[in-house]
Structure 1
């Protein structure tokens, strides 16, 4: 079965990781530069009595990294308005056991669901995305779960992406502080106060990390290129319900 290079799992995963962790040239060459920036997040006054507000950028980032390392799961929502394959939006739930569910859409190219359970993975494309990702597949495969591998594109990099990002706040790929690590005030993320730290990516684009100002200092949002790429995080430590699909819902060639 002939496949096209996955629109999301390869290019977009590299794009997210490079944009949000200031990756070096070897990784950046695989990532397309997004365009069409969105409006920045709404600024908020500094939360009264917030201990993070009194810490250095390095200390805020370190606390976020430690909180990320302790996470057992989360939900990642990603938006790339200017992705070269078309505006991309996806949401993925993952936990530390490897369980994962998700769904993504690419404008004018359809959508697909993702499932990983017990070390196995499947995608369920609609008819439009089936035609893009697996142009030789029969129409009967649309809406069915396709086991990943043997020609079926692998999108499971998303199943580890959220936790990885939550653990790398403010870091470069060598594990050291990102370039120009600094604080940038506070803002509201879905009604929650957050302290913002910024770094400069290897391409010179700003990268912003919004860290929860109250409770656990977890990463709530990240943004690159002033809205060209955004990521939101939530449902912390919630187990993912990801049972393997029923056999009659799996497409076998």
Structure 2
């Protein structure tokens, strides 16, 4: 009869042990791969450059300043001995025995002559005759009046020409036929003038209408001219004057 050995307690197994094992294996594998990649990356890095050699700074002790040697002071020259002045013996004065001369009295001066008295001449007797009247000096003649300025002939002629133009324009007789035909314009008439008489009449610039040109010539011929200025009298003057025709003129 075989004896039955008592069995010990069975090992404890959790129900998820079969699932934890692959997870742990996978985590260990990933950790190993990460370590291998880190080692490979670290070995592939270029070696860092060596550090620069240390700079050696040598401090030299300051050199002592060179001693300046003062130049030798020259000795002052020895003064020359001053020669003693030689004193010459003065000669003894010679004494002469001089006798004093006798003093003579001054000669007597002559007495002054008396000064003659000068008598003044007698005063002249007063003139009893009446004095002759003295003619008064003739006053100088007054200076002549200044000559009048020379007349400005050009200015006088321009003023007289304006008066002629007004007289001619006032003497214009507008032709009735030209008024009916509504003719307007201006005619430049040239003429010679001497002492109130117009001559050598001519049309310099036509108005384009014979009726107006003939009326302009008649106005120059029949105008009552003003008096000729004294500066222009006796002279033949040439004038050219515009004669205008407007329907508004009477």
Q: TM-score range by the shorter chain?
A: under 0.3
Q: Greater Rg, structure 1 or structure 2?
A: 2
Which structure features the higher share of helix residues? 2
Q: Which has the higher contact order (CA 8 A, sep 6+)?
A: 1
* TM-score, normalised by the number of residues in structure 1: 0.17
* TM-score, normalised by the number of residues in structure 2: 0.17
Which structure features the higher share of strand residues? 1
